[in-house]
A and B are shown apart, each in its own frame.
Chain A
Amino acid sequence: MRCGRCRAPAVIEVRRHNAGYCSACFVRHCREQVRRAIEHYTMIEPGERVLVAVSGGKDSLGLWQLLRELGYEADGLHLGLGIGEYSEASAEYARVFAAARGYPLREVTLATEYGFDVDGGARAAKRAPCSACGLSKRHVFNDVASEHGYPVLATGHNLDDEAAVLFGNVLRWDTELLGRQHPVLAAAPGFVRKVKPLIRLSEREMAAYCIVAGIDYIVEECPMAAGNRHLGYKSALNDIEERSPGTKAAFVFGFLERARPQFVGGAETARGGLRACSVCGSPTPADTCAFCRMRARAVGEPISVRSSP
């Protein structure tokens, strides 16, 4: 196979674009997809500082490098989740990556800062581990971005992530979540803007980008994610994509352009009814936000009373 742009030997085929790319042209393709996503959805304004949520995996490390290559002042934030050796190894990949490139990396640890880990939070709140993990990330990322004056938080959600979430929301007809699903979640009182610049790149493209760009990332999967519903959706969508290349992109971008507007009203109503959490001040529909309730249960405190861990 030859690169469709320069005719050099290709290293990857992207079937939904009906194209092969050599290493150099593939890196340019990835940069171009991120640049187009940022511009099309007005994700980042010129001069804005960006905080990148960095796990040590392919998507977040690849995103961080792509944003830097595109000229953004992007710093990293790693959240230590306390998932044993997996968390320690993930953090080390993030540290080595940042140190080698001179990128500033902030680190926060759930156990140190909040007094519990993902497993403890999941058990205490009777949530699935992935749910406790997601709740913790959303809360802490927003907290740190707000505290340090970053107007934008960028996450490494890619096309496959968005397709899988959309698939799940459609299967349950969760109209509020359908209305909220977008590559940009606008800033609001208590919330920084959240953006997903990898929406135009698949998981496979991000893994390939890391290999071509010399980014060493953690390949092992989180031990708590094994067998979860989200991975099942991804697998099902990949089976369809194999038979019909371009289906995932058509599903996500068709939804954003033609279906999502019908669900936006419900999501806006839900966001408009938020008030400040009695413990941390974050926006919440309840008296105490879900993260503070989980934390209180995990550390054995009465809900609505915040003390230092």
Chain B
Amino acid sequence: MRVVLRNPRRELDVPAPRNVGQLLYDLEIVPESVLVIRNDTLATRDERLDDHDRIEIRPVISGGAA
């Protein structure tokens, strides 16, 4: 399946199926720091992702030291 990452934007091909938690673990991404969006809808850690899914891993950490 195709996985889009942001900041900077890049794309990866990742073998499917696997669930969201496994995907983040494999990519060494801390789940608290991102949202996983499958086909424009939020996905929880236990959801299974398949080959035809469009996946975005969106970072949620932002901000300067104001």
Known: A11-B44, A238-B30. A130 touches B60 (CB 8 A): no
Say if the beta carbon of B42 comes within 8 Å of chain A.
yes
Q: 5 tightest A-B contacts by CB?
A: A134-B66, A130-B64, A230-B65, A207-B60, A11-B42
Contacts of B43 in A (CB 8 A): 11
Name the residue of chain B whose CB is nearest to the CB of A13: B44
Q: Which of A10, A20, A129, A225 contacts B63 (CB 8 A)?
A: A225
CB proximity of A72 to chain B, nearest CB, Å? 23
Tell whether, in the assembled complex, residue B64 and residue A20 are in contact, meaning their CB atoms are under 8 Å apart. no
Q: Which residues of A are at the interface with B, using a C-beta cutoff of 8 A?
A: 1, 10-13, 15, 20, 57-59, 128-131, 133-134, 137-138, 160-161, 164, 168, 202-204, 206-208, 211-212, 219-222, 224-225, 228-231, 234-235, 238-239, 241-242
A-B contact pairs, 24 of them (CB 8 A): A10-B44, A11-B41, A13-B45, A58-B60, A58-B62, A59-B62, A137-B66, A202-B32, A203-B60, A204-B33, A204-B34, A208-B35, A211-B37, A212-B42, A219-B7, A219-B58, A221-B62, A224-B64, A225-B65, A230-B63, A230-B65, A234-B61, A235-B30, A242-B32
Say if the beta carbon of B26 comes within 8 Å of chain A.
no
Contacts of B58 in A (CB 8 A): 207, 219
Secondary structure type dominating chain B contacts:
loop
Q: Which of A212, A228, A238 contacts B65 (CB 8 A)?
A: A228
Q: Which of B7, B32, B44, B46 contacts A204 (CB 8 A)?
A: B32
CB proximity of B35 to chain A, nearest CB, Å? 5
Q: Which of B34, B35, B45, B64 contacts A225 (CB 8 A)?
A: B64
Tell whether, in the assembled complex, residue B63 and residue A161 are in contact, meaning their CB atoms are under 8 Å apart. yes
- Please give the number of chain B residues whose Cβ is less than 8 angstroms from any Cβ of chain A in the complex: 25
A267 to B11: give the CA distance in the assembly, Å: 48
Secondary structure type dominating chain A contacts:
helix
Tell whether, in the assembled complex, residue A222 and residue B41 are in contact, meaning their CB atoms are under 8 Å apart. no
CB proximity of B59 to chain A, nearest CB, Å? 8
CB proximity of A272 to chain B, nearest CB, Å? 24
Contacts of A235 in B (CB 8 A): 30, 33, 61
Name the residue of chain B whose CB is nearest to the CB of A12: B42
Among A131, A206, A219: residue with most chain B CB under 10 A: A219
A160 to B37: give the CA distance in the assembly, Å: 21
CB proximity of A190 to chain B, nearest CB, Å? 20
Contacts of A130 in B (CB 8 A): 64-66
Task: Mark out the residues of chain B between 7 and 66 whose CB falls within 8 Å of any chain A CB in the assembled complex.
Answer: 7, 30-35, 37, 41-47, 58-66
Among B58, B61, B62, B65: residue with most chain A CB under 10 A: B62
Known: A138-B66, A204-B60. A219 touches B30 (CB 8 A): no
Name the residue of chain A whose CB is nearest to the CB of B44: A1
Tell whether, in the assembled complex, residue B7 and residue A134 are in contact, meaning their CB atoms are under 8 Å apart. no
A58 to B63: give the CA distance in the assembly, Å: 11
Contacts of A134 in B (CB 8 A): 64-66
CB proximity of B14 to chain A, nearest CB, Å? 20
Tell whether, in the assembled complex, residue A211 and residue B63 are in contact, meaning their CB atoms are under 8 Å apart. no
CB proximity of B10 to chain A, nearest CB, Å? 13
Name the residue of chain A whose CB is nearest to the CB of B6: A219
